[in-house]
Structure 1
Amino acid sequence: MTGDDVAAVLARLPELVNGCGPLVNRGRFFSGEFLVEADAVPVHVKVHEGRIAAVEKGPFRMRAWRFAVRAEAQAWGRFWETTPEPGYHDVIAMCRLGVARLEGDLQPLMANLRYVKEVLEAPRGKVGG
């Protein structure tokens, strides 16, 4: 998997998330922008009241975001497996394993952690439990 492959997977977030009522409801108090990066390919995700408003692939000149989740494309591929192995099953676990890192203002991430984690897990096909 490459950074462009990760961007293509993330481009599907609006259809995966916005069509899932329970997940949108869970994120109804979250509006903001965050960055997901794979192999130096940035993807900007804009959320408005739990709905994915936009997903754009960079590079960007000066795009604002509150927090970022960065990992190698190979790690994202392992994360999105139907049943990921331990350490790749969760964004926080990937950070503990040392294959991902969180940056920026982590308060909005932590305040909406379950929502953000489920948004990033949506490409697995198990959304909104």
Structure 2
Amino acid sequence: MIEQLKERVNADAGLVRRGRFLSTNFLLEVGSTQWLINIVEGQVSSVTRGPFVMPSWSFALRAPQQEWARFWQADPQPGSHDLMALIKRRVLKAEGNLQIFMANLRYFKESLAKLRVGVAA
């Protein structure tokens, strides 16, 4: 499912425009599975599944698989509907250079919400 992130984000011209000043690598950890996501000027250029020996990333978002499954439901429950709600509930850990994450929070929220069940590209 995470493999679809590139296609779904890049198909949304408004989202790509919102991230046009964003170029970064970040790590998305779903349970024990790691994904390196490379963004160049708002477009997802690659999504690579780990394991990695020494991954290079600016920040990481880590949560148990069941929490991501709740977030990616078609209509998630309160507390599982938003990245900041997951952080507030202490089930999502954000680490690294959080300035990049926070400065582009809406971009990351909308990008990861593209993986929700039933969300079209």
- TM-score, shorter chain, exceeding 0.5: yes
Aligned counterparts of 1:14 and 1:41: Cα–Cα separation in 2: 18
- Counterpart check, 1:93 vs 2:85: yes
> Displacement, 1:107?
0.6
> How many residues are treated as equivalent by the alignment?
119
Q: CA RMSD in A?
A: 1.1
1:1-129 correspondence runs (5 A)? 9-124=1-116, 125=119
Aligned counterparts of 1:63 and 1:71: Cα–Cα separation in 2: 18
The letter of the residue matching 1:85 is Q
> Displacement, 1:126?
6.2
Among all aligned residue pairs of Structure 1 and Structure 2, give the percentage whose two residues are the same amino acid. 44
In structure 2, list runs of 5 or more residues that go unmatched: none
TM-score, normalised on structure 2? 0.95
Aligned counterparts of 2:31 and 2:16: Cα–Cα separation in 1: 29
TM-score, normalised on structure 1? 0.89
> Displacement, 1:20?
0.7
Alpha carbons of structure 1 residues 119 and 99: separation in structure 2 relative to 1, 3 Å: same
Query: Runs of at least 4 residues of structure 1 off by over 3 A?
Result: none
